[in-house]
Chains A and B, each alone.
Chain A
Amino acid sequence: MTTEVLPPLPLPNELTAAFWDGANQGQLVIQRCNACGHFQHAPEPICSNCLSFDLGYAAVSGKGSVYTFCIPTQAFHPWFEDKLPFVLAVVELDEQPGLKMITNIVETNPDDVKVGDRVEVTFTPLGEGFTLPVFRPAAQ
């Protein structure tokens, strides 16, 4: 009997659960301060902009630009062995300058990706009940 390779799975906590629940609903959900509107990712217990502890979450448009990327050709975890090469990227979301997230760029040839490319969110099952927000080239 072969051992199933599990993906690297999140361990959601009170701060991160909304992101993963949102992804399961097909939404990109980012922490947002209820006092000043500042977005934060990764979510934290306090707003770094105004120091409020009154934080919530908001679904964002899923639109953004590729800030940078690389193309891993070596797997550091068994889950990625059969997925090489893939695109690991940082996407800057339209909602706020500097609001960025680590992600993958999919539905494209890795060598076609460029810094500055416009992208839009899409969702892919990760396994074990999780969904991963990833990005694909924006429809022109």
Chain B
Amino acid sequence: MAKKNRVAIVGVGYSDVSRGSGLTLDKLTAQSSVAAMDDAGIKPTDIDGVVVHSFPHQFVSSTHTAAMLGIPDIAFYSGNVDGAAYSVAAMHAIAAIASGSAETVLTLRTVHKAGAAGGAAMLGPQRGIPGNMQFGMPYGSFTGSHWAGMYMQRHMAMYGSTEEDFGAFAIAQRKFAVANPTESFFHEELTMEDYLNSRYIAKPLHLLDCDYPVDSSSALIFTTEERARDMKQKPVFFDSWANGTTAEADFSLVRDMTHSSPWMAAKRMWSRTDLKPSDVHTAGLYDGFSFIAMQWLEALGFCGEGESGAFVRSGATSATGSLPTNTDGGACNVGRRHGANFFIEVTRQLRGTAGDRALPNKPQVGVVSNAVGGFAACALLTAE
């Protein structure tokens, strides 16, 4: 990637995070924004761009956010309900800064637990399911766990992977979660028996394959390299980034479930950089469901096709492995931040501010990823 117009992450922050917090989406958004500004050491008037991503029924707009924070005039704003969750906000902010459309952009992902799993709750009071959902819901397809179970099954059929392979991922990242007690909702290591005994939601998908719905808002502030040098924290830079999609909009109907959008995004990202998988020291891979992180390991080329189970079982994703992954414990443990926590945790590791969780390999290069199925995104971050 060109070394001019580099975009840096300079501030990160979370709202209060809990289940059924009683906090409004607006308040959560304001909390995380203030936390990120404090982290960066900047004031609202230093911000000239705001980008948000949220579910359509949980939307707090960029312009309303700017108004709440007392930002008088913004040069760039976008509000997104489509696509790969937090990463959409990140991609828009990067594009804005790299193009010179804005200089310092606040990005946000705010989500409420209730209704975030989709399902019948998403239907309005009308009788009858409109649009393309009418071809799924009458059959019992309501929520992410339904396509997730199907994606797992396809991987198992294609590659002979087993539930134990997916369990190995849940176990590996729970180890990191136990070392992150202030953010993790879970504090005990998992055994394979715990994983296999956790109830099925949509067999072969277990409860412990799923992220943990919470009320949360996550904020990251990006700026130019030049401005980043004046801010409080050591900047972390985007080396390369990419979106990728499939031709099909419905996740259940993608052409190739084991090679869905992460493969498109990864190929595009690697084509834009001189870095290679072997240069990467740590990863934050979306774990809305454990199979998603496993597909990313394969798509990004950290292991061969179908080999993510063996890779994880080897200990490669542990703190002392070749690719410590989801070092905050992942969304399965810290709660659904819908992608933002991977960017934040990898940033902390590259800054060297992960405290007790600081990785022994002193990472300088990290990869982050978001989503699967119809749309996905990934990016490489560097400490310098």
B149 touches A11 (CB 8 A): no
Given contacts A70-B204, A73-B203, A74-B201, contact A11 B255 (CB under 8 A): no
- Collect the chain A residues with CB atoms within 8 Å of residue B126's CB: 11
Given contacts A68-B151, A70-B202, A90-B253, contact A102 B139 (CB under 8 A): yes
0/1 string, A69-82, CB within 8 A of B gives 1: 11111111100100
CA distance A11 to B142 in the complex (A): 16
Name which of A6, A8, A71, A90 has the most chain B CB atoms within 10 A of its CB: A8
- Interface members, chain B 89-117 (any A CB < 8 Å): 117
A70 touches B203 (CB 8 A): yes
- Collect the chain B residues with CB atoms within 8 Å of residue A12's CB: 128, 134
A88 touches B128 (CB 8 A): no
CA distance A41 to B249 in the complex (A): 11
Nearest chain B CB to A137's CB is how many angstroms away?
Answer: 16
- Counting CB contacts under 8 A, is B199 at the interface? yes
- Counting CB contacts under 8 A, is B327 at the interface? no
- Counting CB contacts under 8 A, is B146 at the interface? yes
B120 touches A132 (CB 8 A): no
B146 touches A88 (CB 8 A): yes
Given contacts A10-B129, A90-B150, A126-B138, contact A68 B257 (CB under 8 A): yes
Question: Closest A-chain residue to B151, C-beta based?
Answer: A68
Nearest chain B CB to A102's CB is how many angstroms away?
Answer: 5
- Counting CB contacts under 8 A, is A9 at the interface? yes
- Counting CB contacts under 8 A, is A45 at the interface? no
Given contacts A10-B138, A102-B135, A102-B253, contact A68 B154 (CB under 8 A): yes
A67 touches B154 (CB 8 A): yes
0/1 string, B59-83, CB within 8 A of A gives 1: 0000000000000000000000000
Q: Assign chain A's interface to a size class.
A: 35 or more
- Counting CB contacts under 8 A, is B182 at the interface? no
Nearest chain B CB to A31's CB is how many angstroms away?
Answer: 11
Partner of B149 from the list A19, A72, A98, A134 (CB cut-off 8 Å) is: A72
Nearest chain B CB to A18's CB is how many angstroms away?
Answer: 13
A48 touches B140 (CB 8 A): no
Nearest chain A CB to B251's CB is how many angstroms away?
Answer: 10
Partner of A10 from the list B134, B142, B158, B203 (CB cut-off 8 Å) is: B134
0/1 string, B119-135, CB within 8 A of A gives 1: 11000001111111011
Given contacts A10-B138, A68-B157, A115-B153, contact A73 B129 (CB under 8 A): no
- Counting CB contacts under 8 A, is B38 at the interface? no
B255 touches A80 (CB 8 A): no
- Counting CB contacts under 8 A, is A39 at the interface? no
- Collect the chain B residues with CB atoms within 8 Å of residue A67's CB: 154, 257
0/1 string, A58-96, CB within 8 A of B gives 1: 000000000111111111110010010110111000000
0/1 string, B183-223, CB within 8 A of A gives 1: 00000000000000001111111000000000000000000
B200 touches A73 (CB 8 A): yes
B143 touches A42 (CB 8 A): no
Nearest chain A CB to B123's CB is how many angstroms away?
Answer: 8
Nearest chain B CB to A99's CB is how many angstroms away?
Answer: 9
Given contacts A68-B257, A70-B149, contact A9 B200 (CB under 8 A): no
Partner of B135 from the list A42, A75, A98 (CB cut-off 8 Å) is: A42
A11 touches B199 (CB 8 A): no
Residues of B whose CB lies within 8 Å of any CB of A are 117, 119-120, 126-132, 134-143, 145-146, 148-154, 157-158, 199-205, 247, 250, 252-253, 255, 257
Give me 21 A-to-B residue pairs in the complex whose CB atoms sit less than 8 angstroms apart, sorted by A's number: A9-B127, A10-B138, A11-B126, A13-B130, A13-B131, A42-B250, A67-B257, A68-B150, A70-B204, A71-B149, A72-B149, A72-B201, A73-B199, A76-B117, A76-B140, A77-B119, A90-B150, A102-B141, A103-B139, A116-B157, A132-B138
| Nearest 10 CB-CB pairings of A with B | A70-B149, A11-B128, A115-B157, A10-B134, A76-B142, A71-B203, A68-B154, A70-B202, A42-B132, A8-B137
Residues of A whose CB lies within 8 Å of any CB of B are 6-13, 16, 19, 41-42, 48, 67-77, 80, 83, 85-86, 88-90, 98, 100-104, 114-116, 126, 130, 132, 134
